[in-house]
């Protein structure tokens, strides 16, 4: 199909989504009933310039990850989501691909937790979405691109985050993440994006390869379920922390 059809659909959907429906603050002087480009871009984790080029048909090959992010940000139902994939030249994700779909029921759950820091990852530990409270606690996530959106990379090779770990706690956390990713790879052997991610992680971090090939089982889950966060404005904060699994959609929700 023509590239302009994809952009036109994104624009139509953007115009009909109210800011209140997706948790975007509304100022007094707002004229647009729907979302502004900058707002949709921030929700989808892409640049406003790239979204502009997509809507105008000047960017013609959005990745499946970008399509999914836009469908999620626009709160599209399954039929419209599938159409958006086809307009972008992609097959609708099947059972052999790691899902990153946030269903309407899960989204309603997240909406009710809007004042609690919440981050959602898919089964590869790639960021799906983070709410405003999470960004306020842990730092801005909307600018993350590529490997930056993957928690395995961020813990093994990325910049230091705000969670305070002893060296042993950090090593055990890394081992648990890699072990979980290895289980994901065994469940989705046909997912080419997952295979590419594993290769990129191995190239970026020698420790990833050591953990990936380790014969010893990963350490058990942390029984304390507490996190100490070093916040630049308020200092150290100790919080309860739980990771919930959405079994059917294979998502990880950290609250």
Q: Which helix (H) or strand (E) is 51 found in, with range?
A: helix 48-55
d(CA 34, CA 40): 10
Return the SS3 of 19. helix
Return the SS3 of 134. helix
| Model confidence pLDDT, tens digit, residues 170-211 | 999 999 999 999 999 999 998 888 999 999 999 999 999 999
Task: Give yes or no for a contact between 53 and 42, defined as CB atoms under 8 angstroms apart.
Answer: no
Instruction: From 113, 138, 146, select the one nearest 234 (Cα to Cα).
Output: 138
Place of tokens 């993440």: 177
pTM given for the model: 0.77
Place of tokens 């960021």: 127
Task: Give yes or no for a contact between 202 and 178, defined as CB atoms under 8 angstroms apart.
Answer: no
Q: Low-confidence residues of the chain, pLDDT below 50?
A: none
d(CA 17, CA 235): 38
């Amino acid at each position: 199909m023509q590239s302009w059809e994809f952009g036109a659909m994104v624009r139509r959907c953007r115009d009909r989504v109210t800011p209140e429906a997706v948790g975007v603050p509304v100022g007094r002087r707002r004229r647009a009933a729907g979302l502004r480009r900058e707002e949709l871009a921030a929700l989808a984790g892409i640049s406003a310039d790239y979204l502009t080029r997509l809507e105008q048909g000047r960017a013609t090959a959005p990745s499946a990850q970008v399509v999914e992010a836009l469908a999620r940000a626009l709160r599209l139902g399954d039929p419209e989501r599938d159409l958006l994939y086809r307009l972008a030249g992609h097959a609708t994700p099947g059972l052999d691909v790691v899902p990153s779909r946030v269903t309407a029921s899960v989204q309603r759950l997240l909406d009710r937790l809007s004042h609690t820091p919440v981050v959602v990852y898919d089964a590869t530990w790639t960021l799906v979405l983070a709410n405003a409270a999470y960004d306020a606690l842990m730092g801005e996530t909307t600018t993350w691109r590529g490997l930056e959106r993957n928690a395995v990379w961020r813990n093994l090779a990325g910049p230091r985050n705000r969670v305070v770990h002893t060296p042993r706690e950090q090593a055990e956390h890394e081992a648990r993440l890699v072990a979980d990713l290895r289980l994901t790879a065994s469940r989705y052997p046909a997912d080419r994006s997952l295979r590419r991610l594993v290769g990129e992680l191995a190239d970026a971090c020698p420790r990833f390869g050591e953990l990936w090939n380790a014969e010893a089982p990963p350490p058990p889950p942390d029984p304390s379920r507490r996190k100490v966060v070093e916040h630049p404005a308020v200092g150290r904060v100790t919080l309860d922390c739980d990771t919930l699994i959405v079994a059917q959609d294979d998502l990880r929700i950290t609250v």
